[in-house]
A and B are shown apart, each in its own frame.
Chain A
Amino acid sequence: MLGSGILKGLGVTAKNFVGSYHDPARMVTQEYPDTPAKLPEAYRNFPFLVTENATDPMGTLRCVACQICEKECPPQCIYIEKSKDKKPDATGKPQLYPAVFAIDTAVCMSCQLCVEVCPFDAIKMDHVFEVAATNRFEGLLLNREQLAKPNEYFHQIRPTEAAEVDGRLTAERKAAEEKAKAAAAAKAAAPKLPSPVAKPQDELRCSPTGEGGQPKPAEGGTTP
């Protein structure tokens, strides 16, 4: 009948109108300045440096100043100076650390390539978006103190990825410890047949974690 479509349409809009008052799933509006914006986990904007310990951020940076990200960065917004000395990292292994680590956020295009190439899980993408500055030169050039954020923060913004990274890191740590133990045992029983050592993929990955009870020259030398 002519007009039945209009009545049906009026029904649909009425349902939407009533539903908008009692069905929170319908209302997707976030009242952003009043309530903090809910970002999807995969949202990414500008990298930050992960530190193991919030109380001593500069001492526990995961970054070992390998400069892969600096070389890989398409707009070349990362600037790193290696330290002259070695500092024990969070696990006690002596490593280089970045004396200077700066990212020019005016240049950074949030492409995430630095995160993809980092073998140490030391640089991750952030969730910040309120990044206005009063000075477009110094204000947008972030140094390592500004970039360093604790691992707990990483867990907050990306729980899935952070759990995966942490799980992998602890597994690698454990594997490295076992391997070191096995190596020590093998050394002790040198004349005997060589005992089976850890799996080859562990061998590949043990060094980046900076793990191992006693640094072995053969393995320590393979670090990039």
Chain B
Amino acid sequence: MSVVATDSFLERAPLVFRDWIVGHFPVALQWLVHHLLSITAILTVFGLFFAFTTIAERKLLARVQNRLGPNRSGLPWFRSLKLWGLTQPFADAIKAITKEDIVPAVADKVLHFLAPVVIVAFSLLGFAVLPFGRHLIPVELDAAILYFFAAGTATELAIFMAGWGSRNKYSLLAAMRALAQLISYELPLILSVVPVILVTGTLSTGKIVLDQGFWTWGFLPHWHVFTPWGFAGFLIFLVAALAESNRSPFDLPEAESELIAGHLTEYSGFKYALFFMAEYFGLTALSGLGITVFLGGWQAPCAFLEFIPSWLWFMGKLAGMIVFFIWIRGTLLRLRIDQLTRLSWQFLVPLALLNLGNAAFWSLTSGWTGPLAFARWGISVAIVIVPFLLLGRRLTAGYAPRTYRYAA
């Protein structure tokens, strides 16, 4: 990776540190150390990010419900130091590790063991192609988006492994239901990203971010989310990402208040924690992709804010996305399975397909200037809004507005 000399030291600091460590090793081993360091960095940063996501989620959900949230776990030898309960995830980790690991007698031992390992491994693979900063991209692939979705989809295999390997009817049925959900939402998820590929003409995440890199008058960023097709695509992406990562309101596969635990019924202890971890890694990776593709990746929102290192911008946007997802979780109710699949096939997929046409129109009319530019925006906005309204009205006919006869 080449280092641009004009960048600030903070921008390059992670790379400088990595090259300093790599320099201690013989040349023959340097490529290996280089990649091992990238892997270590991802595991450390996103492992901690996962840990603090769990505590943030519990705190924020508590505040949304006017509770305090976990605030009692402190440090082992400093009992008076409470630290607002920030050490809770580590206490949770110790609890998960020390819990008994129960494997059903008739379970397929290999698959039962392999499923949590595979799901964590595949959900981590996506991080390899995300550009975390101007120069911080673990692996620069030309087909990065393709690779990301291939790796992300493989987690579905692990879910079915878990359901099948448990040799439990409920687990198996839940795994099939989970697959139905994940496959339904794979389509709008990918279709919402395709317009970006169409407009930028590249599958490389690094180039997609660079493409969003300029500002109109220094403060209007050229992020894809600020175009009509990008905005629609981002919304579809958000919904599909929620469903893909089994988050509320699409957390049917493991609806803890209704089912036992879906395909995780026969899992306990650290294996269960691994599934949990994979879910959050998947969510984080998908948020990272959403940021990369729609929210300008590591780009600063205004030109004068560029002095802040790009990787801080990325992590800030990532935290914002996660908080938004937690906010959604605190607000919306869980959907029924038929509502869930109907939302995907009857609403999101047609809109995503139309959005693809919208993006095609946008890239064909890139030469329109002056009053034609306004026409371009108007037509594009109309392609987004009119089908949304018509389709929404048709699908909710007879359902809304709902009248409550007995509620106040």
Q: Which residue of chain A has its CB nearest to the CB of B389? A: A1
* B86 → chain A closest CB, angstroms: 17
Q: Give the interface segment out of A20-28, A51-59, A102-110, A117-125.
A: A20-28
B332 touches A9 (CB 8 A): yes
A2 touches B392 (CB 8 A): yes
Is B67 positioned at the interface, with any CB of A under 8 Å from its CB? yes
A29 touches B67 (CB 8 A): yes
Contact of A27 with B332 at beta-carbon distance under 8 Å, contacts A2-B388, A21-B63 already known:
no
Across the interface, A17 reaches (CB within 8 A) one of B64, B332, B393, B396, namely B64
Is B327 positioned at the interface, with any CB of A under 8 Å from its CB? yes
Residues on B with C-beta less than 8 A from A17 are 60, 63-64, 327, 330
Residues on A with C-beta less than 8 A from B393 are 2
Is A12 positioned at the interface, with any CB of B under 8 Å from its CB? yes
Is B365 positioned at the interface, with any CB of A under 8 Å from its CB? no
Is B44 positioned at the interface, with any CB of A under 8 Å from its CB? no
Cα distance A10–B66 in the bound complex, in angstroms: 15
Is B65 positioned at the interface, with any CB of A under 8 Å from its CB? yes
Residues on A with C-beta less than 8 A from B330 are 13, 17
Cα distance A1–B391 in the bound complex, in angstroms: 11
Cα distance A14–B60 in the bound complex, in angstroms: 10
Is B331 positioned at the interface, with any CB of A under 8 Å from its CB? yes
Number of interface residues of B (CB under 8 A): 19
> Which residues of chain A from 3 to 19 have a CB within 8 Å of any chain B CB?
3, 5-6, 9-10, 12-14, 16-17, 19
A interface footprint on B387-405 (CB within 8 Å = 1, 0 otherwise): 0110011011000100000
Residues on B with C-beta less than 8 A from A27 are 66-68
Q: Which residue of chain B has its CB nearest to the CB of A19? A: B66
* B71 → chain A closest CB, angstroms: 8
B interface footprint on A132-168 (CB within 8 Å = 1, 0 otherwise): 0000000000000000000000000000000000000
B332 touches A6 (CB 8 A): yes
Residues on A with C-beta less than 8 A from B328 are 10
Number of interface residues of A (CB under 8 A): 20
A13 touches B392 (CB 8 A): no
Residues on B with C-beta less than 8 A from A19 are 66
Residues on A with C-beta less than 8 A from B332 are 6, 9
Is A85 positioned at the interface, with any CB of B under 8 Å from its CB? no
A interface footprint on B53-68 (CB within 8 Å = 1, 0 otherwise): 0000000100111111
> Which residues of chain B from 319 to 363 have a CB within 8 Å of any chain A CB?
327-328, 330-332
Residues on A with C-beta less than 8 A from B63 are 16-17, 20-21
Across the interface, B331 reaches (CB within 8 A) one of A2, A13, A31, namely A13
Contact of A3 with B331 at beta-carbon distance under 8 Å, contacts A16-B65, A20-B66 already known:
no
Cα distance A17–B56 in the bound complex, in angstroms: 13
Cα distance A20–B59 in the bound complex, in angstroms: 12
Cα distance A27–B69 in the bound complex, in angstroms: 11
Residues on A with C-beta less than 8 A from B395 are 2
Residues on A with C-beta less than 8 A from B64 are 13, 16-17, 20
B interface footprint on A25-62 (CB within 8 Å = 1, 0 otherwise): 01111010000000000000000000000000000000
Cα distance A20–B66 in the bound complex, in angstroms: 5
B392 touches A1 (CB 8 A): yes
Cα distance A3–B396 in the bound complex, in angstroms: 11
Cα distance A221–B63 in the bound complex, in angstroms: 66
Q: Which residue of chain B has its CB nearest to the CB of A7? A: B331
* B330 → chain A closest CB, angstroms: 5
A16 touches B327 (CB 8 A): no
A3 touches B392 (CB 8 A): yes
> Which residues of chain A from 88 to 118 have a CB within 8 Å of any chain B CB?
none
B389 touches A16 (CB 8 A): no
Cα distance A137–B393 in the bound complex, in angstroms: 71
Residues on A with C-beta less than 8 A from B327 are 10, 13-14, 17
A interface footprint on B40-84 (CB within 8 Å = 1, 0 otherwise): 000000000000000000001001111110000000000000000
* 8 residue pairs A–B, Cβ–Cβ below 8 Å: A1-B392, A2-B388, A2-B396, A17-B60, A20-B63, A20-B67, A26-B66, A29-B68
Task: Show the binding face of A for B, using Cβ within 8 Å.
Answer: 1-3, 5-6, 9-10, 12-14, 16-17, 19-21, 26-29, 31
Q: Which 9 A-B pairs have the closest CB atoms?
A: A2-B392, A13-B331, A26-B66, A9-B331, A20-B63, A13-B64, A17-B63, A20-B66, A29-B68
